[in-house]
């Protein structure tokens, strides 16, 4: 899949799954725009990304702040791209809820419905929307926290440690499936 010169906006790029997705995108030559709130980790990500893709950049922003998100996409639109593909990282918990994680599971199910809804809205503009449902990803803070609370699932399903559904490399390999829709530099 040719990613050279294409643009990838990765929210949460400073650590965990976002970083595991952002760095390989840069390695394949995409211009990665990394987004997170904390600058130090974001700067470390930028250094890593620019080693492969010098036009990569970072944008410190809180994605829960509507003004910040508007500013982010205006800046991205001006600098890079006009249309493309949205991939929302949801969670297996949005489809198979875990006990005692009601708010998390409900928020993940909501992202699925939201993604489907905007997919209809954005289709006329050539923007596709897709969702990814990872299980616990070993090596991330979330999986480590879950492993420290072995009774967390409370559903009889596999514990976080005995059956990871996705390894971080598996999540990064989503590129093979989704990378084709990244926009050219516009």
DSSP string for residues in the chain: ---TTBEEEEETTTSHHHHHHHHHHHHTT-EEEEEES-HHHHHHHHHHHHHH-TT-EEEE--TT-HHHHHHHHHHHHHHT-S--EEEEE--GGGTSPPTT-HHHHHHHHHHHHHHHHHHHHHGGGT-EEEEE-----TTSHHHHHHHTSTTSS-SSS--TTT--S--HHHHHTTHHHHGGGPPBP-
Which lies closer to ligand NAP via its Cβ, residue 82 or residue 92? 92
CA distances from residue 80 to 9, 21, 186 in whole angstroms, order as listed: 10, 19, 5
23 near ligand NAP (CB under 6 A): no
**Closest distance between ligand NAP and the C-beta of residue 18, in Å?**
5
**Residue of 137, 172, 175, 182 that binds ligand NAP (CB under 6 A):** 137
**Closest distance between ligand NAP and the C-beta of residue 168, in Å?**
9
**Residue of 4, 66, 103, 141 that binds ligand NAP (CB under 6 A):** 141
**Closest distance between ligand NAP and the C-beta of residue 108, in Å?**
7
Which lies closer to ligand NAP via its Cβ, residue 9 or residue 17? 17
142 near ligand NAP (CB under 6 A): yes
**Residue of 46, 89, 172, 175 that binds ligand NAP (CB under 6 A):** 89
Neighbours of 129 (CB within 10 A): 18
Q: Give the binding range for ligand NAP (CB under 6 A) out of 22-30, 51-59, 71-79, 141-149.
A: 141-149
143 near ligand NAP (CB under 6 A): yes
Interface characters, 42-71, with ligand NAP (x: CB under 6 A): --------------------xxx-------
103 near ligand NAP (CB under 6 A): no
């Amino acid at each position: 899949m040719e990613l050279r010169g294409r643009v990838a906006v990765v929210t949460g790029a400073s650590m965990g799954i976002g970083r595991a997705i952002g760095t390989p995108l840069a390695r394949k030559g995409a211009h990665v725009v990394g987004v997170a709130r904390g600058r130090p980790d974001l700067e470390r990500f930028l250094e890593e990304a620019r080693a492969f893709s010098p036009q990569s950049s970072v944008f410190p922003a809180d994605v829960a702040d509507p003004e910040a998100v508007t500013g982010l996409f205006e800046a991205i639109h001006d600098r890079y791209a006009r249309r493309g593909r949205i991939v929302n990282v949801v969670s297996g918990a949005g489809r198979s809820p875990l006990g005692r994680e009601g708010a998390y599971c409900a928020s993940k199910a909501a992202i699925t419905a939201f993604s489907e809804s905007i997919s209809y809205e954005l289709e006329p503009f050539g923007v596709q929307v897709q969702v990814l449902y990872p299980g616990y990803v070993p090596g991330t803070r979330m999986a480590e926290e879950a492993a420290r609370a072995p009774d967390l699932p409370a559903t009889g399903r596999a514990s976080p440690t005995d059956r990871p559904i996705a390894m971080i490399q598996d999540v990064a390999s989503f590129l093979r499936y989704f990378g084709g829709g990244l926009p050219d530099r516009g």
